[in-house]
Structure 1
Amino acid sequence: MAARHNFRKLNIWREGIELAKDTYSFTKKFPKSETYGLSSQLQRCAISVSSNIAEGTARGTDKHFKHYLETALGSAFEWETQLIIAFEIEYISEDIFKKLEKKIQSIQGMITRFMEAL
């Protein structure tokens, strides 16, 4: 059975990939003590966004695809919460925080609108 959607052509998937790349870039600068803490959590959430979108494209119905999109959206909100924590404990600057906050909120909106369109 072929996928109903090609995840590689979805903007939400591409934005998720960019989020993951950004996440790995800024978490490199976190203290070594965070390797298995906040760094790892942020990285796993970022990867989860695009991974769940991709996995959902293989599902046979829009109802099943929406379930994976909901999981991706949940990961995006979890990631945003962890970003706030990283900012509040001064692991990232305000400039980086604002840029990434805008990006994650855009992704959240894109996922929500895509789900509504299905």
Structure 2
Amino acid sequence: MAFRFESLQVWQRALDLSERINQLTKTFPKDEIYVLSSQMKRAADSVVLNIAEGSTGQTKAVFKVFLTYSFRSGIEVVSGLFIAQKRGYIADELFTNLYNEYEILVKMITALKNSL
């Protein structure tokens, strides 16, 4: 692996979840394409991108800042899931599954941040 972030389990999980959010938002109504769909995809991608950016050649203090951004973006995705559920775009079972996955992810981000 050429880059440090590739070996981080938290980055790998974030990447997988980002793709799941991308696929999910494709099922949303077309009038959400530039609103909720876009916002959720950007937030999910932000988790992945900030972990990668912070891990590469930065000090621990800088990496912690980027992990905080990732954490906050993860929370943003969860809020988007609540909105999508409220609007009837996702089934309760899928909501619960993704909610639980993001709960694990933000705990992993927090644990990594605390270990630095």
Matches within 5 A, 1:86-101: 86-101=84-99
CA distance in 2, matches of 1:111, 1:75: 11
The equivalent residue for 1:73 is 71
The equivalent residue for 1:47 is 45
Are positions 1:16 and 2:1 aligned together? no
CA distance in 2, matches of 1:102, 1:25: 17
Structure 2's unaligned 5+ residue stretches are none
The equivalent residue for 1:116 is 114
1:17 counterpart letter in structure 2 = L
CA distance in 2, matches of 1:116, 1:58: 18
Aligned residues: 115
Q: How big is the shift at 1:35?
A: 0.5
TM-score using structure 2 length: 0.95
TM-score using structure 1 length: 0.94
CA contact (8 A) 1:59 1:65 kept: no
Deviations 1:61-107 (A, max 9, x none): 10000000000000001111111110111100001000000000000
CA contact (8 A) 1:86 1:92 kept: yes
Q: How big is the shift at 1:59?
A: 4.0
Aligned partner of residue 72 in structure 2, secondary structure: helix
Task: After the TM superposition, list the runs of 4 or more consecutive aligned residues in structure 1 that deviate by more than 4 angstroms.
Answer: none
Are positions 1:61 and 2:62 aligned together? no
CA distance in 1, matches of 2:14, 2:58: 22
Q: How big is the shift at 1:60?
A: 2.6
1:86 counterpart letter in structure 2 = A
